[in-house]
């Protein structure tokens, strides 16, 4: 089937006019990270059924798909059409066509947010400290606090000695309580640069009376300077920190004023609900509080998106450029601070006013809307274990979990495979042992359930899905193993960030910093961003 084609010039003009467009790179994350247009959100073909309805809530939103000649975009277009999307086109010439037309291309992931962070620092000259300077202050016993603006799981992996986990959106709400003496120096860090810059500048913008600085180059800079990191730390802020009347009023007033200056508008839960039903405009609704607060109680229709991560991964949460974004909190600080940054990133942003506890009628984790998979036969963990015990059963077990999860732990004998490689164009499945039947699994079997029809069509063999996936297997007390011994596909589903983990080469970390330093010049060449700084 043929699909409409949209040119580089057409896409660029749409971005400049701030009309809605979802420019989606349907390759796996690693090839996406090597080269893509600025606002091309990674939207892997393999996960379309899992992600489409949440990330593309309007079925007639203009969608433009790209790949690098692998044929993934046409397959993604067909799948989106099956899901009810009616305005799907392919990018003329794919990635190569974009480049040949003169389009700027970028490396890495979450590039709009990272480029914006560099833009902020270049414009506002955000104060910073080198790793060597911070190390000297700590050794001298100076009066300072180091606040780590990353997610808590990232903080636990590695952190600056003595630092406290305060994820980005929490900084303005909590900093006055964590550094009550105005003479206490406050240093904000992340793994690299972006969240350090945005976090420190947030405190400056909000009028924190303390001296504030970003740790220049974060934990990467700390490591390159030869300093030692802590691992497994548990230091977190008190949940009540910053909620005393005086501190909360000061933070709320500052955050509201900043949001207003940035052009953020106000709305209500009722109006946001009406917008969500508008078939002519995409509206995203995000609750920017901590995940635990969200799960305790939240407003209907709002997805959990902690504010610091929303600013860091904007194109992943809201891939429709030109969409409307509505934010909610219960304190008047976190949503306004997050909104102030999104608005400066050229996103039309609103904050909910006037909500009360009785409006928080939903509980538990976000439950995304997903299409029902085609019916497949299933097996319990115990039934699968019995089948695997007898090699004459000819069972081949396919695991579609993220490759990192597979390497960490998987069912003994399972093969890891990419769903996007389930075509006659790839030998990944044909290279495996002969099978009388296939059993499919992943973390919960959500993705495996969608892949079952692909495997059945390719092989003509009997296909079963493991009930509850690897999680159910583990809950049943059955054995697992680790390692990368049976990888049927290349591990391109995730790009290895040079700033994560504890075993990155110094050359890779330095190259990453050098890349970040060049982003402002790339933004100028691209010219579609519309960023501004208040």
**What is the average pLDDT across 454-472?**
97
Same domain, 151 and 264: no
Same domain, 126 and 97: no
From 68, 86, 108, the end of a domain falls on: 108
Q: Note the helical H segments in 29-168.
A: 29-34, 48-55, 72-82, 94-100, 111-124, 131-140, 152-157
Q: Please write the tens of the pLDDT for every residue from 376-434.
A: 999 999 999 999 999 999 999 999 999 999 999 999 999 999 999 999 888 899 999 99
Same domain, 285 and 329: yes
Same domain, 448 and 391: yes
Domain count, the chain: 4
Same domain, 180 and 163: yes
Return the exposure string of 476-514: e unless at least 16 CB atoms fall within 10 Å of the residue's CB, then b. Answer: eebeeeeeeebbbbebbbebebbbeeeebeeeebeebbe
Q: Please write the tens of the pLDDT for every residue from 174-201.
A: 999 999 999 999 999 999 999 999 999 9
User: Residue 271 — pLDDT band, cuts 50, 70, 90?
Assistant: very high
- Find out whether 337 and 31 touch, Cβ atoms under 8 Å: no
| CB-CB neighbours of 117 under 10 Å | 28
Residues 6+ apart with CB under 8 A from 508: 498
- Find out whether 466 and 472 touch, Cβ atoms under 8 Å: yes
Same domain, 210 and 168: yes
User: Residue 504 — pLDDT band, cuts 50, 70, 90?
Assistant: low
From 184, 214, 238, the end of a domain falls on: 238
Q: Please write the tens of the pLDDT for every residue from 88-135.
A: 999 999 999 999 999 999 999 999 999 999 999 999 999 999 999 999
Same domain, 297 and 354: yes
Give dist(CA 185, CA 182) in Å, integer: 8
CATH of residue 393: 3.40.250.10
Supply the pTM of this predicted model.
Answer: 0.95
Specify the pLDDT at position 96. 98
Residue range of the domain that includes 467:
377-475
């Amino acid at each position: 089937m043929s699909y409409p084609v949209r040119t580089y010039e057409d896409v660029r003009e749409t971005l400049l006019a701030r009309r809605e467009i979802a420019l989606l790179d349907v390759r796996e994350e690693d090839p996406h990270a090597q080269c893509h247009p600025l606002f091309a959100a990674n939207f892997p073909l393999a996960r379309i059924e899992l992600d489409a309805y949440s990330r593309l809530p309007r079925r007639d939103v203009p969608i433009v798909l790209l790949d690098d000649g692998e044929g993934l975009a046409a397959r993604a277009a067909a799948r989106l059409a099956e899901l009810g999307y009616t305005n799907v086109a392919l990018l003329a010439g794919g990635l190569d066509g974009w480049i040949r037309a003169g389009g700027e291309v970028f490396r890495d992931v979450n590039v709009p947010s990272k480029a914006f962070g560099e833009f902020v620092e270049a414009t506002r000259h955000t104060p910073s400290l080198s790793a060597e300077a911070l190390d000297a202050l700590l050794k001298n016993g100076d009066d300072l606090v180091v606040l780590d603006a990353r997610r808590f799981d990232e903080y636990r992996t590695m952190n600056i000695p003595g630092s406290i986990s305060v994820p980005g959106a929490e900084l303005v709400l909590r900093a006055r309580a964590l550094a009550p003496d105005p003479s206490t120096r406050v240093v904000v860090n992340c793994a690299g640069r972006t969240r350090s810059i945005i976090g420190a500048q947030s405190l400056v913008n909000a009028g924190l009376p303390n001296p504030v600085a970003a740790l220049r180059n974060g934990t990467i800079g700390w490591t390159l300077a030869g300093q030692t990191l802590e691992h497994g730390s548990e230091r977190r802020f008190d949940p009540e920190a910053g909620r005393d009347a005086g501190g909360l009023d000061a933070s709320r007033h500052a955050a509201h004023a900043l949001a207003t200056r940035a052009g953020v508008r106000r709305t209500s839960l009722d109006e946001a609900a009406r917008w969500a039903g508008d078939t002519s405009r995409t509206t995203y609704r995000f609750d920017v509080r901590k995940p635990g607060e969200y799960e305790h109680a939240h407003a209907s229709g709002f997805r959990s998106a902690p504010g610091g991560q929303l600013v860091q991964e904007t194109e992943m949460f809201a891939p429709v450029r030109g969409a409307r974004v509505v934010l909610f909190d219960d304190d008047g600080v976190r949503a306004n601070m997050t909104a102030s940054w999104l608005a400066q990133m050229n996103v039309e942003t609103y904050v909910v006013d006037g909500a009360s506890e009785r409006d928080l009628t939903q509980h538990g984790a976000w439950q995304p809307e997903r299409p029902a998979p085609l019916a497949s036969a299933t097996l319990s963990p115990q039934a699968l274990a019995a089948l695997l015990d007898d090699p004459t059963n000819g069972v081949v077990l396919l695991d579609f979990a993220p490759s990192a999860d597979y390497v960490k732990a998987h069912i003994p004998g399972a093969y890891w495979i990419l769903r996007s490689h389930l075509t006659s164009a790839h030998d990944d499945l044909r290279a495996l042992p002969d099978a009388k039947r296939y059993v499919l699994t992943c973390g919960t079997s959500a993705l495996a359930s969608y892949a079952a029809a692909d495997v059945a069509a390719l092989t003509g063999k009997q296909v079963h899905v493991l009930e509850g996936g690897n999680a159910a297997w583990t809950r049943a007390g059955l054995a697992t193993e680790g390692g990368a011994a049976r990888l049927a596909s290349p591990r391109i589903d995730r790009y290895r960030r040079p700033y994560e983990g504890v075993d990155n080469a110094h050359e890779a970390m330095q190259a990453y910093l050098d890349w970040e330093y060049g982003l402002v010049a790339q933004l100028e060449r691209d010219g579609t961003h519309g960023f501004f700084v208040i």
